[in-house]
Copies of this chain bind each other. A is one copy, B any other.
């Protein structure tokens, strides 16, 4: 049984079979499917080791999955992993999970087990980027690497997201609009606050910002100060769906109605950021800034494959977020 048998049954050239088997990004979806069907039908079994000796490509990418990523605010990571798995499959690649230690990923690359590394939750000056870049390992990131670092990253335009959602509230007639974010864990927190401040400045409105620590009771206290203090805002822009859910719960507890438009009293508009399952579970549905996870996953896979073909000097890619219009803002 050879790839010529597979090619005959699939009705394609043996080169096409070889391209599919070796994870090369040149075969259309229909042909790829016919090749897979023929492999299944014939029970063809290629030895991966033998094949990778010829191509010097594993067709695999390491994904460091760390305990840090199970944080309560990281409600989109599971969906992102699924998007990344699907994007990798479209390019004939698979993700290999490793513990969140760049040395472990490096070892996999050196052993020929993976061809490159995919990083998530990357922050400026990320030590993982330092280690991988120094070792000359191909990688690509979801999250910005920072200046004077390799620019092999894809990210959402966080600032544009909070600009757009703040402008949306201004257009609805809100004037007392507060921002509730996290004390900066990464550039995204800074950018989300900056977007809010920019939109408030353009509208000649006074910003009011709280950025509590995500751990501990600070967030609950900040929410109580916002809702119970004098001159309660009519709208709260938040930096995450989890924060927005907490504001919604606190508002409901106080008998405030959750509505998009400003009302005399007894009402509040609330917006989130992420487009996560948390916001989708709320009632009324949360208005939020959705991160385009599928598109980010596709671009990250393309970027790391390009790096594997040879170092690129391409710039980072910033993708526009999308407002998911719910009933709360």
Contact = CB atoms under 8 A, between A and B. Distances in A.
Interface residues of A, number: 60
Interface string A58-82: 1110010111011010100111011
Contact of A281 (B66, B72, B108): B72
A46 B58 CA distance: 13
Contacts of A205: none
A322 to B, nearest CB: 19
22 contacts: A40-B103, A47-B53, A48-B49, A48-B111, A49-B49, A49-B51, A49-B58, A53-B53, A59-B113, A65-B82, A69-B78, A70-B82, A70-B277, A72-B277, A84-B97, A89-B99, A89-B104, A94-B97, A94-B98, A94-B113, A95-B97, A97-B97
Interface of A: 21, 36, 39-40, 43-53, 58-60, 63, 65-67, 69-70, 72, 74, 77-79, 81-82, 84-86, 88-89, 94-99, 103-104, 106-108, 110-113, 217, 220, 249, 252-253, 277, 280-281, 283
Which 8 pairs between the two chains have the least Cβ-Cβ distance? A49-B52, A49-B49, A48-B112, A45-B110, A49-B53, A95-B97, A85-B97, A48-B113
Given A53-B53, A85-B99, 17 more contacts: A40-B107, A44-B110, A46-B112, A47-B112, A49-B49, A49-B112, A65-B81, A66-B82, A69-B82, A70-B78, A70-B277, A85-B97, A89-B98, A89-B104, A94-B96, A96-B97, A252-B253
